Amino acid sequence: MSRIERFHGTAADGTALTVVYAEQADARVAFALVLAGDALPRLVHWGRPLAAPETLLDAYDALKPQRVSGALDETAWPSILPTQSEAWIGDERLTVRRGGVELFCRFAVTDIRIALAERDAIDVAQAADAPESTPAEARVAVPGASVETPVVTVVAEDTEQGVGLEWTAELLHGGLIRQRAVVRDLAAGVAPLEIGKVELGFPLPALASEILTTTGHHLRERSPQRQPLTVGRFEKVAMAGRPDFDASLLLTAGTPGFGFEHGEAYSVHVGWSGNSVLSAERQPYTTGLIGGGEVLMGGEITLSAGTATDSYTTPWVYGSYGDGLNEIAARFHTRLRDLHPELVAKPRPIILNTWEAVYFQHDFDTLKALADKAVESGVERFVVDDGWFGSRRDDTSGLGDWHIAKEVWPDGDRSLKALADYVHAKGMEFGLWFEPEMVNPDSDLYRAHPDWVLKPTAGRLPMQGRSQQVLDLTNLDAYAYLYGAMDALVGELGIDYIKWDHNKLVTEAVSPRTGRPAVHEQTLAVYRIFRDLRAAHPGLEIESCSSGGGRVDLGILEFASRIWVSDCVDPVERADIQRYTSLLVPPAMMGEHVGASPAHSTHRATSQELRMAMAFFGHMGVEWNLLKEPQEALDKLGAWFAEFKRHRAWFAVDTCVHADAADPAVRVDGMVKPDRSAAFYRFTQLTTGQTYPAAPIRVPGLDPDGVYRIQPLYLDLDLETPGLGNGQSPLGWWTADGVLATGRALETYGLRPPSLHPAQAVLFTAIRER
């Protein structure tokens, strides 16, 4: 149930008050704003729904800080966009200039609008009901429910300086709050208005004094890091034209020690694929703020009143509240399922990607044989990676020449079209790799159009990466060439799936067309190609890959059906890469592949069972040359694929949970049905543990009052062998019968897992019996 209400009253000092209260009861979340006089609104509640929201009329008096010595006459109490006019002396949240001169705005509210907007949402109760035998082409959009979304819009102006502001907040299905602002130039006949910064935020309770972010690099994305939120400013800035590997998908502040299962916490995310910032800030005079926004270069956004460019719209800044990170993540997952009904309308096809199988060594006979092995193992989507076009025999040339290389794929029965037709005839979908935003200087495209790349001056290119430069998609001719080439190939080859890569950091990104920085417009152009290709080719799915996991955000995920989590498919590394990626992205949208051993990226040798178990909950696939593997390995792979297919429809809508564990050597991850009638769990022993044998593990996400039978998943397990082959004594419950336990017992003391050697994992199920 959704609601939004408005209440009016008067403060103790006579100030006229308006309170706006919005609630999503099913998601157990609400927020409230208080507007005093004509001042910008302040967020005075963000958490569980309130039984008597009209009492928030007293929140202004209850929360307003008193004047203190040595400061201004009013102590800072941040609004939704604090400025110095309301005593904010922290880092600037709004920077605007005319003729290079800073403007100090004081906005007066002129209008407040509230509404319940209709939005489509996935009905998870029936999302997985379509039988597995339903043909893919028949699995169109899953019928959803129309959900009412509370929306509040506040319009304000600084009349003297000619600056307008329109701020909107929505409380989405699932409980996310998102906010954005539109800044307008209202002053005609004067210097244009330059936008330097618009950073939106959410206030924090005083107890939210610890922050969690992630860091990383190529092959080790999203490694967690924690620290106290002290007085001052903490920020994570992404300045590579994409979020990049070091980006923190979420910035989370919570009570000290918060984890996946417990602890009040508040997270923010900027839904933008260009340059951005996430920040947390405390001052001695006021409450803390977390938030973020787009980072703009000088001259990148300039507004002129009365023209088509009289306004700038910020990206959406999302906020998620919860008791523990599992609840916070579930809100983001609901949003992405609502955006992508194909995730549940069509079971995620098992993928084979050819990159680590053949790299650039494309050959019709080899790939045809690989397709045969793939389909025999249960693969349903065959993706040809880099190397099929132009002079692209390695990564130094040909990028941007989007025509099929005839010397590799000659016309006739050995063409790329012939391979695509063969793959389709085998009952598989056909996918193809592109890196549309990039170009090699050693390419026909660059030689013909050297002005089609982003560069700081006419005579100097940015530093290269992987022998690449960035194509200027704000140039309409370059955009038309790229879209036309991709559109034609999708039609000609019957492409079902595009692996869209992005391998170069976008630096010194100035468009020769305008002479101005262009990351903002470049990002919008990328979104437009994604959107237009999908509109022109219904059913086409596109993966966002960026040297692996370098572009993961809710901006690109409005259009992409999947992300490539990391170029590292080593399952030991993937344990945490996937875990912390799932704070934002549901596993059904995460490419999780079974690779070779030793892993190409780390040279670590691991068991096939660990590699398959680590890929089991996500969008499962293969990054492996099956032509070089013994039949025993292929049979084992086929058995796991068959098991995955039996459950993947539910995995698409299941609640993803992670357990908190005292031992840093173990991980417990799970997928729980929406009605909590059943769940899958994975126990992973990454290294030797602090306890021997392994200590009992908590099993989260189940109905506390339900009774569940806990059983091992039988794949590849010899239940007659004591200790699972580790030479240990038998584990009593690890049998076909398992054990019975209540959900409350499982989330409190848990159960004893098998004692495993390092780099091993096992799967078990929880089935509700009453």
pLDDT of 176 > 50? The answer is yes
- Mean per-residue pLDDT, 83-89: 96
pLDDT of 8 > 60? The answer is yes
Residue 144 is predicted with a pLDDT of: 59
Cα separation of 534 and 528, whole Å?
Answer: 10
Q: 253 falls in which pLDDT band (50, 70, 90)? A: very high
Q: Could you please report the per-residue DSSP string of 445-496?
A: HHHH-GGGB--SBTTBPPPPBTTBEEB-TTSHHHHHHHHHHHHHHHHHHT--
Residue 125 is predicted with a pLDDT of: 56
> How far from the centroid of its chain's Cα atoms is residue 486's Cα?
25
Count of C-beta atoms within a 10 Å radius of residue 426: 17
pLDDT of 609 > 70? The answer is yes
Residue 286 is predicted with a pLDDT of: 83
Q: 134 falls in which pLDDT band (50, 70, 90)? A: very low
For residues 593 and 569, the answer to whether their CB atoms sit within 8 Å is yes
pLDDT of 143 > 90? The answer is no
List, for residues 522-541, the tens digit of each pLDDT value.
Answer: 999 999 999 999 999 999 99
Count of C-beta atoms within a 10 Å radius of residue 363: 13
- Mean per-residue pLDDT, 467-480: 98
Which among 145, 147, 149 is positioned nearest to 170, based on CA atoms? 149
> How far from the centroid of its chain's Cα atoms is residue 375's Cα?
30
Dihedral sign for Cα atoms in the order 121, 500, 296, 479: negative
List, for residues 254-309, the tens digit of each pLDDT value.
Answer: 999 999 999 999 999 999 999 999 999 999 988 899 999 999 999 999 999 999 99
CB neighbours of 47 closer than 8 A, spacing ≥ 6?
29, 30, 264, 321
Helix, strand, or coil here: 14? coil
Which among 242, 326, 300 is positioned nearest to 276, based on CA atoms? 242
Residue 727 is predicted with a pLDDT of: 66
List, for residues 422-440, the tens digit of each pLDDT value.
Answer: 999 999 999 999 999 999 9
pLDDT of 131 > 50? The answer is no
**All domains of the chain in start order, with CATH:** 2-339 (2.70.98.60), 659-768 (2.60.40.1180)
Cα separation of 668 and 679, whole Å?
Answer: 13
Q: Which residue has the higher pLDDT, 227 or 714?
A: 227
For residues 281 and 288, the answer to whether their CB atoms sit within 8 Å is yes
- Active-site choice (385, 472, 567, 654): 567
Q: Is the pTM of this model over 0.95?
A: yes
- DSSP assignment letter at 589: G
> Does 567 qualify as catalytic in the annotation?
yes
Supply 584's token pair: 């934002």
List, for residues 38-75, the tens digit of each pLDDT value.
Answer: 999 999 999 999 999 999 999 999 999 999 999 999 99
> Does 338 qualify as catalytic in the annotation?
no
- DSSP assignment letter at 746: H
Element (H, E) at 274: none
Percent pLDDT > 90 in the chain is: 93
- Active-site choice (401, 501, 570, 576): 501
Residue 716 is predicted with a pLDDT of: 58
pLDDT of 718 > 90? The answer is no
Residue spans of alpha helices (H) in 542-630: 571-581, 608-615
Determine how β-strand 590-595 pairs with β-strand 562-564.
parallel
Question: Which residue spans within 660-748 are E strands per DSSP?
Answer: 666-672, 678-685, 707-712, 739-742
Residue 730 is predicted with a pLDDT of: 83
| Conformation bin of residue 513: beta by default, left when phi > 0, alpha when psi is -120 to 50 | alpha
Residue 521 is predicted with a pLDDT of: 98
Residue 146 is predicted with a pLDDT of: 80
CA distances from 161 to 91, 105, 307 (A): 22, 7, 18
Rounded to a whole number of angstroms, the distance between the first and last alpha carbons of the chain is: 28
For residues 712 and 762, the answer to whether their CB atoms sit within 8 Å is yes
Location of structure tokens 């890569």: 501
Which among 534, 614, 495 is positioned nearest to 566, based on CA atoms? 614
